[in-house]
Structure 1
Amino acid sequence: MAIYPFVAIVGQEPLKEALLMAAIEPSIGGVLALGDRGTGKSTAIRALASLLPEIEVVRGCPYRCSPVQPAEHCPACAEGAERIAERMPAPVVDLPLGATEDRVVGALNLERALSSGEKSFEPGLLARANRGFLYIDEVNLLDDHLVDLLLDVAASGENVVEREGLSVRHPSRFVLVGSGNPEEGDLRPQLLDRFGLCVDVRTSADLRERMEIVRRRDAFERDPDGFVRDWSRKTSALRRRVVAARDKVSKVAMPDDVLEKAVQLCMALGADGLRGELTLMRAARARAALAGEPAVSMLSLKSVAPLALRHRLRKDPLDDTDASVRVERAVEEVFIP
């Protein structure tokens, strides 16, 4: 099944930039896209898969363990058995809104248990998402017990299943990506805090842009494979940029004067904890790496500030100003020439 190309998406620049930064620097902590229905949130997130570099895995491992990182191995790979390396696309796994806990965490393989009496574990979505992306559409409608489960796994990087006589632990490190319409309910603060970047997605108000969106979508639906081929060269070019940026993001310098502004900005906004500063630093580095810059500039820091901080602000019952506006106002105050 053809997937709409990322490079063919018209507009929505903040969303596309946030997804690219998360692909370049997974430690940012993922992306949350909130906004109107039909604005391309799911399309952009699913299209990201075509830009991700391949990963090296242990052949036959259901958890996609890395052949060269023993600290993150599942029990089978850690036992020292022969590990043959192979390459595969980085996983982008959908977590359906109505998914059961068994499907998410894994469960007893009933077919094998009934046919041979053998107790074996059937890995779930958290196993499939290891070393990749886990996407949740309508994340604000996710059942509370699944939210608790995801918070535990996201914090530890490990999925623990103890039920039906089974006791299984396996690595589950993933970048969490979610989308939703805020009119249908708010996210729990604990889950909201787990997303590194938050994007406010709105319907385009530009006539020409809307016409181009409709034109391209219609062309894709009439001939999906042909449309994807038409955009393949630009897709390959962007993939090469992402791969190059991932290779050099750790080498991008963070000057002290830029870091000082990042801390001042978080203090001015009253952001709780230090996740705001860390996310700002990582996102600004990713943006600089994508642009081919050797060091983070003030421009990169200001550009990523709304994405990294808008969802970390304390709610003020006396101030109903939009969160993005509050961040932009603080940026203007902190970055006074």
Structure 2
Amino acid sequence: MTPPDSAALPLPFPFAAIAGQPQLRQALLLAAVDPGLGGVLIEGPRGTAKSTAARALAELLAGAPFVTLPLGASLEHLVGTLDLGQALAGHEVRFAPGLLARAHGGVLYVDEVNLLPDALIDSLLDVAASGVNRIERDGISHRHAARFVLVGTMNPEEGALRPQLLDRFGLCVRLHNIDDAAARTAIVRARLAFDADPQGFRASHAEAQGALALALGRARATLADREALPYDDAVHAAVGALCLSAEVDGLRADLVMLRAARALAAWEGTDAITEAHVEQVAEAVLLHRRKPGSAPPTAAPPLAPPPRDMARAADGAPSAPKGTDDADWGAMPPEPVGIERVKPLRPLIAAAAEAAAKKA
């Protein structure tokens, strides 16, 4: 019997059924509303729904691809390179797209991002923030749109990212093992029900899934209007106070916090950005940027479900507007290094001169 050309992909677990991780749901939805935030870094132990949630998010974006960056990927594999087949055939110099091109309009998932080479992470984060992939190598000068939701995961026990790279992730969520027996039981039952009957389980959550997808499309359309969702000086003051309290470096945290608050306001369908929106997104913005010993913000309630009017039929979901961020990447703080005591030079010079005289 001839095997099929490709095995059918397993059905994703519905995003609406993910329970027990409200901060994770909020961060992923905000990044989907505005991919220009720079993606989401998820820290936590194994088995805390990191990959499940990322895969489920892609399904909310109609027709969106879900692309995984493997650990052994090269820079050429990521950004693209010269099409060797065309070049060797003597036709022309042509660009061969990489994973960034494939992920356009969808979700790019990077497991164990802290184990990737710094050069690879740097290129990845640069494109995630700008939405454009620029290639100047191998005789190629090319650029293409690469707007995607970046989701990176890591286990801090296996190594950390440098401060510059951490700062370039827009949002960060730190997951913990669920220590409530009832919550664990509910999550396990839901997973077993999905594994036993994926179609039936998804059908039972279809209405909630549809409401989330429509709300996401409406929020993206709102952000496309540059004049929508104004904010006043009180919002600016709240952002500045929270960033100063966290003792962050540079102004990237301020910019990301304002964008995240705007994405949240668009999700909730409000007419303006308020201080409450800022407070609700502050922890995800500051968690990976806060200096040790600085005061964390007051805990905010999780992301509210989409309003009823957002579940109505919506037009197409356009891509989020491109954002620019010219803030300095920052610099690593100086670190002490070991110094070996050096022997005095005069005795060494005298010994060398004596040895040279004996040879003469």
Which TM-score band applies after superposition, normalised by the shorter structure?
A: 0.7 to 0.9
The counterpart of 2:50, out of the listed 20, 38, 41, is: 41
| Cα contact 1:126–1:159 (8 A) shared by 2 | no
Query: Deviation of residue 239 (structure 1)?
Result: 0.7
1:260 Cα deviation from its structure 2 partner: 1.1
Cα 1:261–1:281 change in 2 (3 A) is same
The 3-state SS of whatever aligns with 1:193 is helix
Count of residue pairs brought into register by the alignment: 287
Q: Which runs of 5+ in 2 are unaligned?
A: 1-8, 301-360
In structure 1, the residue matched to 2:195 is 221
Quote the residue 1:138 is aligned against. Answer: 112
Report what 1:236 is aligned to.
210
Check the 8 A contact 1:268/1:330 in 2, yes or no. no
Equivalences for residues 29-178 of structure 1 within 5 A: 29-52=38-61, 54=62, 89-113=63-87, 118-154=92-128, 157-163=132-138, 165-178=139-152
Give deviations 1:177-218, integer Å, cap 9, x for gaps. Answer: 211111111012222111111111111111111111111111
| Structure 1 contact 159–172 (Cα < 8 Å) conserved | no
Give the match for residue 237 of structure 2. 260
Q: Deviations over 1:223-257 (max 9, x none)?
A: 22332222222101111111112222452232321
The SS at the match of 2:296 is helix
Query: Which residue number in structure 1 is paired with residue 258 of structure 2?
Result: 281
Q: Distance in 2 between matches of 1:175 and 1:190?
A: 20
SS at match of 1:134: strand
Q: Do 2:235 and 2:275's aligned partners in 1 also have CA atoms closer than 8 Å?
A: yes
The Cα shift of 1:134 comes to: 2.1
Partner amino acid for 1:140? N
- Residues 229 and 265 in structure 2, CA contact (< 8 A), matched pair in contact too: yes
> For residues 134 and 99 of structure 2, what CA distance do their matches in structure 1 show?
11
Q: Would you tell me which structure has more strand in proportion to its own residues?
A: 1
CA distance in 1, matches of 2:58, 2:299: 35
Distance 2:216 2:125 in 1: 28
Q: Distance in 2 between matches of 1:279 and 1:40?
A: 25
1:9 aligned residue: 18
* Partner residue of 1:199 out of 152, 173, 176: 173
> Deviation of residue 49 (structure 1)?
0.8
Which secondary structure does the structure 1 equivalent of 2:19 belong to? coil
Cα pair distance change 1:225/1:266, threshold 3 Å: same
Structure 1 residues not aligned, in runs of 5+:
55-88, 332-337
TM-score computed with the length of structure 2 as normaliser = 0.73
**Pairing 1:315-326 to 2, within 5 Å after superposition:** 315=292, 319=293, 326=295
**TM-score normalized by structure 1?**
0.77
Across the aligned residues of Structure 1 and Structure 2, the Cα RMSD in angstroms comes to 2.4
Residue 71 (structure 1) aligns with: none
Counterpart code for 1:294: D
* Map of 1:314 onto structure 2: 291
1:69-96 Cα deviation digits (max 9, x unpaired): xxxxxxxxxxxxxxxxxxxx23332111
3-state secondary structure, aligned to 2:151: strand
Q: Is the 8 A contact 1:29 1:195 kept in 2?
A: yes
Question: 2:296 matched to which residue of 1?
Answer: 327
| Alignment partner, residue 70 of structure 1 | none
Contact 1:131-1:172 at 8 Å conserved across structures: yes
Quick check: 1:147–1:191 contact (8 Å CA) kept in 2?
yes
Residues in 1 aligned to 2:253 and 2:230: alpha-carbon distance in whole angstroms: 19
